Amino acid sequence: MRPGGEGLLSLRTLWTRQAVEDDRLPSLRELFVSARIHPLAGQPAPASMLTDIAGLLAAYDELQPDPTQATQRVAFGTSGHRGCSLQGSFNRWHVLAISQAICDYRVAQGISGPLFIGADTHALSQPALDSALEVLAANGVQTMISAGGEFTPTPAISQAILVHNQGRSSGLADGIVITPSHNPPDSGGFKYNPTNGGPADSDITSWVQNRANALLEGGLREVKRMPLAQARQAANVQEYDYLGSYVRDLGNVIDFAPIRAAGLRLGVDPLGGAGVHYWARIAEQYGLDLDVVSEIIDPQFAFMSLDWDGQVRMDPSSSHAMQRLIGLKNGYDIAFACDTDYDRHGIVAPSVGLLPANHFLSVAIDYLFQHRPQWSATAAVGKTLVSSAMIDRVAARLGRPLLEVPVGFKWFAGGLFDGSLGFGGEESAGATFLRRDGRVWTTDKDGIALALLAAEMTAVSGRDPGELYQGLSDEFGAIYADRVDAPATPAQKKALGQLSPAQIESRELAGDAITQVLDKAPGNGAAIGGIKVISEGGWFAARPSGTEDIYKIYAESYRDEAHLQRIFGEAQQLVDAALE
């Protein structure tokens, strides 16, 4: 269990006790600092807290998962199957089974084109890539691996799929992304992207998950496999220049001319991730004044500062984890970073430092829909229902439809693919948008494009994204927002995910009338796996994480910080009651 995992009810106890002692409502963030935040959060990781890479890799090969144990079965969350080899949840057998299940799915669906596959810099990603190749080659799948063994960002795989499939009705491509995203160094992840280039929807992941577990239960007897050396030499395994293809095409997404003309000085911290070698090529291709502060690749990620819970986590939206990036604030006009597979972004502006993800999403939407004249006049704005209400206000002023969906980028893939969505973004700093001509770019999140968009916006407007957000606050009124995370067991996560409007008996939230209680997203009617309560003065949402053993409470107040803390307090009491 992570630090602070001694029980979820302690927060309500702390909150009540502190309110009595201090005669005030304490900030939940204050309580997390005292009761949850690791004492070394934001500091470099001591050697004793770094991952044992040799042990991790040995466990990948040697541990055989027991499919009778729920924690050792294949389980696709909001973004593929994730786990840890030391816990028997991400091992060779899992990858062999999932790879065969994907091959079987391709046959069932008549998918006959190439499969684009790539891996990030997590220690378990390369052995997982090797395991997948043994199966894909044996099944005769035309498999496109990165030229020269280069690491591959998630958006580069999505872009490759879509470029191949453009104008085709047969021989369509799909892909596999091997990454646990920003999760700690001991994590592994395996994700399938179908022919629309984005994360697979629930119907597909359920099919693949069920087939993979059946293969595990059968002792992998139905898995086709060939030795790795033979697989790498197979005629159906070919190299593909993901880096060159992506970088050459990026000029169709970002307007680089004003960035060059403004002479902006840009800084990037690659965070040792999959796009570590992309930045130098981008700078060369488009004539940018861009400093890459480090190209170190370290599977322990020892250069990171610890996240809130004492974990090494490459989360570009976390101020604890992004101490090195934040240190670039005064040296550049804009600085940025991406997480390990480069589908999330972190933006540092001189005016404010690290921008909250919702702030940057809001200004990005406001800018794009006013500076992309070739986009359809009916293209909508896509947001998850835990993203800021500022986005709603911006969309309304722009006269654009708003599509509000559950957490999970898969909900945006279809609209981005057909151009009915101009932008799709998540509160967790993941987003993408259309090409400048209004056609699809990627249907998975693209941290590189969002980082460079920050530079374009600054060059064109003469103001950095922090200043642009202040303009929105001046126009629409300030919004006070925060999110708190806490450890949760699988049983607690399940209980929270099953919250329903009937369990909300109160008619008020922090003194304001409740206007809506949602357990389904208004944009598509899909279950949100939690609850969202909306009042005249703000809202909160509570949901379990789909990728980690934590739960999250999101809240916004349209009034002030004290009101936000009242919303948090009432939200926490609701969560506590649900988990009793």
Task: Give the range among 328-337, 443-452, 479-488 with minimum mean pLDDT.
Answer: 479-488
Active site residues: 181
Quote the pLDDT of residue 1: 25
Token code pair at residue 68: 């009778």
Q: Which of helix, strand or coil describes residue 296?
A: coil
- Nearest-angstrom CA–CA distance, 489 and 481: 26
pLDDT digits (tens, 9 = 90+) for 67-114: 999 999 999 987 799 999 999 999 999 999 999 999 999 999 999 999
Pairing of strands 334-338, 345-349: antiparallel
Partners of 403 in the β-ladder: 382
Structural domains of the chain, ranges and CATH numbers in brackets: 10-37+479-579 (3.30.310.50), 53-240 (3.40.120.10), 246-476 (3.40.120.10)
Round the CA-based radius of gyration of the chain to a whole number and report it: 23
Q: Does residue 213 or residue 547 have the better pLDDT?
A: 213
Task: Give the range among 394-403, 474-483, 501-510 with minimum mean pLDDT.
Answer: 501-510
Quote the pLDDT of residue 502: 87
Q: Which of helix, strand or coil describes residue 48?
A: helix
- Nearest-angstrom CA–CA distance, 315 and 339: 6
pLDDT digits (tens, 9 = 90+) for 545-557: 877 778 889 999 9
Q: Does residue 24 or residue 444 have the better pLDDT?
A: 444
- Nearest-angstrom CA–CA distance, 70 and 468: 47
Task: Give the range among 8-22, 36-50, 105-119, 212-226 with minimum mean pLDDT.
Answer: 8-22
The closest alpha carbon to 199, from 508, 432, 15, 356, belongs to 432
pLDDT digits (tens, 9 = 90+) for 526-539: 999 999 999 999 99
3-state secondary structure 70-83: HHHCCCEEECEEEE
pLDDT class of 36 with cuts at 50, 70, 90: low
- Nearest-angstrom CA–CA distance, 407 and 545: 9
- Nearest-angstrom CA–CA distance, 37 and 49: 16
pLDDT class of 574 with cuts at 50, 70, 90: confident
Are 173 and 245 in contact by the 8 Å Cβ rule? The answer is no
- Percentages helix, strand, coil for the chain (3-state, rounded to 5) are 40, 20, 40
- Nearest-angstrom CA–CA distance, 355 and 367: 16
Token code pair at residue 160: 């490759």
Q: Does residue 483 surpass a pLDDT of 50?
A: yes
Q: Which of helix, strand or coil describes residue 325?
A: helix
Q: Does residue 337 surpass a pLDDT of 70?
A: yes
Partners of 527 in the β-ladder: 520
pLDDT digits (tens, 9 = 90+) for 118-150: 999 999 999 999 999 999 999 999 999 999 999
Interacting residues of 517 by C-beta distance below 8 A, sequence separation 6+: 501, 504, 531, 532, 533, 534
Average pLDDT rounded to a whole number, residues 383-398: 98
pLDDT class of 239 with cuts at 50, 70, 90: very high
CA-to-CA dists, residue 334 to 344, 352, 394, 487, angstroms? 16, 11, 23, 34
pLDDT class of 313 with cuts at 50, 70, 90: very high
3-state secondary structure 241-263: CHHHHHHHHHHHCCCCHHHHHHC
In the predicted model, what is the mean pLDDT of the chain? Answer: 92
Q: Percentage of the chain surpassing pLDDT 90? A: 85
Q: Does residue 27 surpass a pLDDT of 60?
A: no
Q: Which residue has 């929807």 as its token pair? A: 201
Are 159 and 181 in contact by the 8 Å Cβ rule? The answer is no
